[in-house]
Amino acid sequence: MSLLLALGGCGDASEVPPARAIMPPVIYEGKIVRQPPSNGGKKDGWFLVQDGQRRWISNTAWLHKNGYTPDMVLEISAAEFNALGENPLPME
């Protein structure tokens, strides 16, 4: 019996789409990441990954000052984004 049926869902396991693997934070180390746009808040911004955590980049001038360009920003899934812990100190 599939887990879906055991939890009261309908259908069988063949109807459940395969889970997308979440990449470990280390693969994004030193990279600028963002998640797909959601609500227009801070989480829609760009973040530098340091020590496995994301740090918000408060303005685009930081990118250029530190040798990054907007085309270097990687869009990752919301699940991957949320799997990264957040360092509350923004990059300024």
Give tens-digit pLDDT for 12-38.
Answer: 555 544 555 666 667 999 999 999 988
Structure tokens belonging to residue 85: 């812990």
Q: How far apart are CA 64 and CA 33, in angstroms?
A: 15
Alpha carbon distance 45, 37 (integer Å): 8
Q: Is pLDDT at 2 greater than 60 in this prediction?
A: no
For residue 1, pLDDT beyond 80:
no
Higher per-residue confidence, 90 vs 8: 90
**Are 12 and 73 contacting, i.e. CB atoms less than 8 angstroms apart?**
no
Q: Which of 44, 39, 30, 40 is nearest to 81 (CA)?
A: 44
